[in-house]
Every structure is written in structure tokens, then in C-alpha cells.
């Protein structure tokens, strides 16, 4: 199950209370104070782990609580600090404070982490209150309370290449042909309901991550057809592969479909419309594909790929251009 949005409640551990104790040993009838400090409460930590692909591992765990610190003991023994509670999330997760409505951190890389709730400090034992004129103190501090926070964890996939287009344009089929990913594939719109990732290898020394983004429709920038849920996953991609179906099932015009998707990207985020893009007419085995590619080439004034995930036509040329563009973005 792919989950990209989870709300959780975090409660760090309380600090342990300080101890009131006096030294009691044989032949030392009036030993001084020896109460130890309480241990610190555990923190709540959110950490990025590259072995995770979605937030499904925490979807059923709404409340996260760290361990409380132990109370201090006699003989100046400090209480044990509470264990931290670590929440593992995939790289690309935004950590947001829902009460204050701001982003705490973008966990973009594997190993990135943030303490979202600090544990309470342990209280002082009575030894801390001893002075030259107050040699038998009975005062102590209670441990401080741990912090509380309501969080929204939102995943934006990190991929080098995002495959976009209208529903049923052949995006999932292309991903399955180029990588080991096995997304659900069927001959009807909206088969893909969440993004799929696949590792694509080109030759022996070059590879990249490709994301199959669910089909976009008119009004996606306003959330129509779960548009916001899909568009956010395009924001971290470096280049886009825009697939245009030559003979859509709904009888719409392929050229208009292309411009409609570009418009939705522009309305959602201006930078997406300006991102490097490779345009390809999918399902090139169909009779309408050459004419569609010709019209698109004239409209956009640039070469258009004709590819077929079924026959393999044009895939080598497509991969070559993707690799060239990715190398160019690395150089920039």
C-alpha cells in the first residue's frame, strides 16, 4: 500500500524527579545529602531511511511517545535517561507542525533527521541544594515535562525522471518495460492510483530513478481527480517525459491534451512548466501515431519521439536522450 500523507501526535518523555537522600553509613552518623538527579526524558526523532518507499509503516501508529527519565537515587546516582522514539520515513518526507502551520524540516537525503519533540530535563537531587549554611537540604526538583507536537508527514517522491500524461497514455507500461517495477496495467483510465518507482539502467555505468505519475486531467491544479496528490510528486523530478496518446479512448485531440497537461503544471507550479521535458508519442504501433508525432513536432518546433512499450520501438533513443539530459542537469 502506498501512503504519502500521515498525521501523528508526538509526546517526548518527562524528566525524572530528583532524589532526597542522605548518606547513611556505619561510623558516619551525620552524612551529608547524596540525592542524585533525575534522568532526562527521551526525544522523538524523525529520520529518513532509504529502505522505505512510502509512509505505510506508520499509518496505523498515530501516537508516538518516548520513554520517561528515571528518578534519581541515593549515593548520588543519576536516573537513567529515557530512550528516544525514532520514526523512520522515506527520503523526500516533509515534516510539518500542524498547530503552528510551518515546515520543520525537509528530509531529502538518507540519514537526515530532526528532533521534533525534546525530552524534559531531569530534576535536581537534594545534593544540588546544599550550601555552607544549609547542609541538610530536603528540597528537590521535579523533572520537566517533555514537549508535545502534532505533525503532518507528507512524502514527495524523489526521482530523476517523472513520466506524465493523460490517463491511459502508457506510462505504467513504459516503466515496466524499462525497469523491474511491476505496476498495475490495464486498458482503462486511472489504473494507476499512486506513483510507482523503478530503477532504470543504461549501459554498465549509468542508472536513474523513474517515477510513473498517475494520469492528470483538467483541473488537476485545483485538486480535481486527486490532482494535488499526484502533482506534488513531480516537484522533485529533474526532467519530465511527457507521453501523448495518438488515439485517446475519449476521442479528444492529442495536441490539446498535451497543452492541457502543460497548463495544469504551470498553474500548480510555474517551475514545473519550465522543467526540461522530452515529448514522446506512445503506442507508435497504432496507425495514427506518425501523423500525431508530425503535428506535435510542428506545434512545438522540436523532434518528437515515437515509442512503443509493446514492441520496443524507439525506447533506446528515448533512454539515450534521457541520459544526455540528466548529465546536462548534473553539469549545471
DSSP line for 171-185: HHHHHHHHSS-----
Rounded Cα gap, residues 265 and 268, in angstroms = 5
- Length of the chain counted residue by residue: 332
Among residues 135, 155, 175, the one where a domain terminates is 155
Strand 102-107 relative to strand 93-97, pairing:
antiparallel
In this structure, the answer to whether residues 139 and 168 fall within a common structural domain is no
pLDDT at 281: 92
Rounded Cα gap, residues 309 and 209, in angstroms = 18
In this structure, the answer to whether residues 23 and 148 fall within a common structural domain is yes
Give the residue numbers spanning the domain of 108: 1-155
In this structure, the answer to whether residues 263 and 279 fall within a common structural domain is yes
Closest CA to 242 of 160, 156, 161: 161
Among residues 100, 121, 155, the one where a domain terminates is 155
Strand 206-212 relative to strand 161-165, pairing:
parallel
Q: Bridge-partner residues for 212, per DSSP?
A: 163, 196
Rounded Cα gap, residues 296 and 307, in angstroms = 14
In this structure, the answer to whether residues 180 and 61 fall within a common structural domain is no
Question: What is the CA 210 to chain-centroid distance, rounded?
Answer: 16
Look up residue 298 and give its three cell numbers.
510542428
Among residues 134, 155, 176, the one where a domain terminates is 155
Q: Enumerate the H helices of 122-269 as residue ranges.
A: 171-178, 227-231, 254-268
Query: Given 3-state DSSP classes, what are the helix, strand and coil percentages for the chain, each rounded to the nearest 5?
Result: 25, 25, 50
In this structure, the answer to whether residues 28 and 145 fall within a common structural domain is yes
User: pLDDT (tens digit, 0 to 9) for every residue of the chain, 332 residues total?
Assistant: 677 789 999 999 999 999 999 988 888 877 889 999 999 999 999 999 988 888 888 988 999 999 999 999 999 999 999 999 999 999 989 999 999 888 999 998 899 999 999 999 999 999 999 998 998 999 999 999 999 999 999 888 777 898 888 887 888 888 888 887 665 544 444 444 567 778 888 877 788 888 888 766 555 445 444 444 567 778 888 899 999 999 888 888 889 989 888 888 888 888 888 889 999 999 889 898 899 999 999 999 999 999 998 888 999 999 989 998 988 887 55
In this structure, the answer to whether residues 135 and 209 fall within a common structural domain is no
Number of domains in the chain: 2
Rounded Cα gap, residues 178 and 257, in angstroms = 25
pLDDT at 120: 96
Look up residue 302 and give its three cell numbers.
522540436
Cell numbers 520517561 correspond to: 68
In this structure, the answer to whether residues 174 and 150 fall within a common structural domain is no
CATH number of the CATH domain containing 295: 3.40.50.300
Backbone CA torsion sign across 216, 221, 222, 227:
positive
In this structure, the answer to whether residues 137 and 169 fall within a common structural domain is no
Rounded Cα gap, residues 36 and 71, in angstroms = 8
Rounded Cα gap, residues 323 and 328, in angstroms = 9
Q: Bridge-partner residues for 248, per DSSP?
A: none
CATH number of the CATH domain containing 98: 2.70.210.12
Amino acid at each position: 500500500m502506498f501512503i504519502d500523507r500521515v498525521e501523528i501526535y508526538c509526546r517526548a518523555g518527562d524528566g525524572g524527579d530528583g532524589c532526597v537522600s542522605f548518606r547513611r553509613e556505619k561510623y558516619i552518623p551525620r552524612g551529608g545529602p547524596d540525592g542524585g538527579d533525575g534522568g532526562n526524558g527521551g526525544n522523538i526523532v524523525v529520520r529518513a531511511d532509504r529502505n522505505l518507499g512510502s509512509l505505510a509503516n506508520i499509518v496505523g501508529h498515530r501516537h508516538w511517545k518516548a520513554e520517561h527519565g528515571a528518578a534519581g537515587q541515593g549515593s548520588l546516582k543519576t536516573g537513567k535517561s529515557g530512550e528516544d522514539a525514532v520514526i523512520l520515513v522515506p527520503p523526500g518526507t516533509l515534516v510539518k507542525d500542524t498547530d503552528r502551520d510551518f515546515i520543520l524540516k525537509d528530509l531529502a537525503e538518507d540519514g537526515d533527521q530532526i528532533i521534533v519533540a525534546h525530552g524534559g530535563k531531569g530534576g535536581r537531587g537534594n545534593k544540588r541544594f546544599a550550601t555552607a549554611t544549609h547542609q541538610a537540604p530536603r528540597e528537590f526538583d521535579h523533572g520537566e515535562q517533555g514537549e508535545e507536537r502534532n505533525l503532518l508527514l507528507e512524502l514527495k517522491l524523489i526521482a530523476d525522471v517523472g513520466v506524465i500524461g493523460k490517463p491511459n497514455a502508457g506510462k505504467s507500461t513504459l516503466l515496466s518495460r524499462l525497469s523491474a517495477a511491476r505496476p498495475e496495467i490495464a486498458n482503462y483510465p486511472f489504473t494507476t492510483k499512486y506513483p510507482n518507482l523503478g530503477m532504470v539502467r543504461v549501459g554498465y555505468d549509468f542508472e536513474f530513478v523513474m517515477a510513473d505519475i498517475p494520469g492528470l486531467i483538467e483541473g488537476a491544479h485545483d485538486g480535481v481527480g486527486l490532482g494535488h496528490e499526484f502533482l506534488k510528486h513531480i516537484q522533485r523530478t529533474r526532467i519530465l517525459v511527457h507521453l501523448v496518446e495518438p488515439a485517446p479512448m475519449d476521442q479528444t485531440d492529442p495536441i490539446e491534451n498535451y497543452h492541457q497537461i502543460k497548463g495544469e503544471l504551470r498553474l500548480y507550479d510555474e517551475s514545473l512548466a519550465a522543467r526540461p521535458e522530452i515529448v514522446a508519442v506512445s503506442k507508435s504501433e497504432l496507425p495514427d501515431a506518425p501523423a500525431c508525432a508530425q503535428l506535435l513536432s510542428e506545434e512545438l518546433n522540436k523532434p518528437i519521439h515515437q515509442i512503443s512499450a509493446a514492441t520496443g520501438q524507439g525506447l533506446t533513443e528515448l533512454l539515450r536522450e534521457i541520459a544526455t539530459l540528466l548529465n546536462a542537469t548534473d553539469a549545471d
